[in-house]
Amino acid sequence: MEPRISLITLGVTDMARSRGFYETLGWKASKQSNDDVTFFQAGGSIFGLYGRAALAKDATVEETPAGFRGVALACNARDRAEVDSVLAEAVAAGADLVKDAEEAFWGGYSGYFADPDGHLWEVAHNPFWTIGEDGSIVLDSES
């Protein structure tokens, strides 16, 4: 398998609410979006929203109650101030602040918010990674 993530899809309970949340953060919905699915261009990947029950049915898995899902999405910031700014912007858009930004054990600075469906997002500044002008991120030159 080629190491690439093409699409990340989150199961949501209220499409209009979730779409509005991400649009308030400045994300632009694709023209291919409709009442059942929303797509956003996210750098070289696509970020999608789809009905939670429909997503579980499509994957042929049981829809279970919400709780810690063992997954967190992340947005890396160029500096500490941007971490604080993004967390504040998310809260203003309706997110729940899960963890205030603080110095991280790995040498960076990060905090967490949860979107309207409880999906965790980490906002972090990692001084060991480079963020390109287009938002792409590079681990290191030896990867």
Residues of the chain with pLDDT under 70: 140-143
pLDDT for res 141: 53
Query: pTM for the complete prediction?
Result: 0.86
pLDDT for res 143: 44
What is the fold of 1-64? 2,3-Dihydroxybiphenyl 1,2-Dioxygenase; domain 1 (3.10.180)
- In angstroms, the Cα distances linking 1 to 4, 5, 90 are 8, 11, 34
- In angstroms, the Cα distances linking 22 to 89, 91, 104 are 11, 12, 26
Q: What is the CATH number of domain 66-143?
A: 3.10.180.10
Question: In the chain, what are the domain boundaries?
Answer: 1-64, 66-143
Q: What percentage of the chain exceeds 70 in pLDDT?
A: 97
Same CATH topology for 1-64 and 66-143: the answer is yes
pLDDT for res 65: 77
